[in-house]
Amino acid sequence: MTSPQRLAALPAGTAATVRVPATSANLGPGFDAFGLALDLCDEVRAEVVDGAGLRVRVEGQGAGVVPTDERHLVVRVLREELAAAGFTAPGLDVLCRNVIPHGRGLGSSASAIVAGLAAARALLLAAGAVAEHEQETRARVLLEASRREGHPDNAAPAVHGGFTIAWTRGEDPTHPDAVRSVRLAVHPDVRAVVCVPAEELATSRARALLPATVPHGDAALTAGRAGLLVHALTTDPSLLLDATEERLHQAQRAPAMPRSAELLRALRAEGLAAVVSGAGPSVLVLTDEAGVGRVSGLAAQGAWDVHARPVHAAGVDWS
Ligand SMILES: Nc1ncnc2c1ncn2[C@@H]1O[C@H](COP(=O)(O)OP(=O)(O)O)[C@@H](O)[C@H]1O
Ligand SMILES: N[C@@H](CCOP(=O)(O)O)C(=O)O
């Protein structure tokens, strides 16, 4: 039997602040691979305090709903990441200022996990417990966040910003090279508009709706559109409507989000490149400046909270 590892306490007064963007994954055909960071950021401040115990305050999204004890997602991940490095924070004060809606397909869980990991790395750096370059920290956070989420498409833009393509390598998800991503520059004319409904849909529930296999023709069409989408998003936005077609997930999940499926149909019928954001039920539209108002007009029929958001270029930051 192995004895439990003894953890060293970080000094009281060590503090870190993290800002992490929302993300929209899939973008239609890029299932589990493509993602876009949106300028809608949660902020987490973590401070090691004297004594023992935990204080968690949540403002904004999730306040009064998410647990404010050791089960809190950011806290849980932060503590596990400290422990993996051999450290602990016996007294911990955490303040979360949340704007990313939960359970709407805007990557809130991935952003919370990225925030917890980045806060832990920032505390370790501030205390001089580790020495690592910024790119090493980002690589570590991407690896761990992807492993915890089970797919890297939200974690990659949350960590690196912009439009990302992420992929996994090999059989060992803990290998330092197990997750890779590239970030591509989005064409300056492209605007991202998200239509967010009041109703939530847990990503786990939406994933359970996916079939184990798909017809070869559907896979072939989707692979071709994913390639085209890279060109459309970076070089020729006039191709976005065709490029956002896919046959792997949106129709399969439509019964769990009938209002989103209806809005998607209405927007696409008007020539707007609409897709389900992540696992839904929000709808993302990739359009130009003139399209932003058209989306608001079409979404005005239902109770949609419409946000036109710039792409968040930088990804998570910490200090
Ligand atoms: N900032 C946060 N703090 C604590 N828990 C969070 C936070 N963001 C997300 N979560 C947890 O993750 C759940 C949503 O995750 P998920 O179903 O993957 O939806 P999505 O990531 O699309 O918003 C929330 O119901 C909550 O339990
Ligand atoms: N590729 C995933 C993306 C889930 O994103 P989320 O924002 O809904 O968590 C999927 O489609 O299941």
Taking CA atoms only, the protein residue closest to ligand 1 atom 14 is 103
Half-sphere exposure of 62 (CA within 13 A, CB side): 23
**Residue 18 placed within a domain:** yes
The last residue of one of the domains, among 160, 185, 210, is 185
Tell me: do 86 and 199 sit in the same domain. no
**Helix, strand, coil shares of the chain as percentages rounded to 5?**
35, 25, 40
Tell me: do 137 and 116 sit in the same domain. yes
What is the interface pTM, i.e. ipTM, of the complex?
A: 0.99
Tell me: do 145 and 198 sit in the same domain. no
Q: Which of 6, 17, 151, 168 is nearest to 78 (CA)?
A: 17
**Residue 166 placed within a domain:** yes
Tell me: do 162 and 202 sit in the same domain. no
Tell me: do 137 and 237 sit in the same domain. no
Q: What is the DSSP string of 255-298?
A: GG-HHHHHHHHHHHHTT-EEEE-TTSSSEEEEE-HHHHHHHHHH
Question: CB-based burial of residue 53 (10 Å sphere; 0-12 exposed, 13-18 middle, 19+ buried)?
Answer: exposed
Helix (H, G, I), strand (E, B) or coil at 88: strand
Please say whether the beta carbons of 275 and 264 come within 8 A: yes
- Quote the domain boundaries for residue 56: 8-185
Tell me: do 32 and 143 sit in the same domain. yes
Tell me: do 179 and 231 sit in the same domain. no
Tell me: do 198 and 174 sit in the same domain. no
What is the pLDDT averaged over residues 28-39?
A: 98
Q: What is the pLDDT of residue 301?
A: 82
Q: What is the pLDDT of residue 119?
A: 98
Q: How much distance in Å is there from the Cα of 25 to the middle of ligand 2? A: 6
Tell me: do 169 and 80 sit in the same domain. yes
The last residue of one of the domains, among 131, 163, 185, is 185
pLDDT tens string 245-256: 999 999 999 999
The confidence band for 4, taking pLDDT boundaries of 50, 70 and 90, is low
Tell me: do 93 and 24 sit in the same domain. yes
Q: Measured from the CB, is residue 228 less than 6 Å from ligand 1?
A: no
168 pLDDT above the threshold of 80:
yes
Q: What is the CATH number of the domain that holds 150?
A: 3.30.230.10
Identify the bridge partners of residue 97 per DSSP, sorted by sequence position. 43, 59
Q: What is the pLDDT of residue 2?
A: 45
Tell me: do 236 and 162 sit in the same domain. no
Q: What is the CATH number of the domain that holds 268?
A: 3.30.70.890
**Residue 202 placed within a domain:** yes
Please say whether the beta carbons of 180 and 166 come within 8 A: yes
**Residue 60 placed within a domain:** yes
State yes or no: 11 annotated in a binding site: no
Tell me: do 250 and 130 sit in the same domain. no
Q: How much distance in Å is there from the Cα of 278 to the middle of ligand 1? A: 13
**Residue 314 placed within a domain:** no
Domains contained in the chain, number = 2
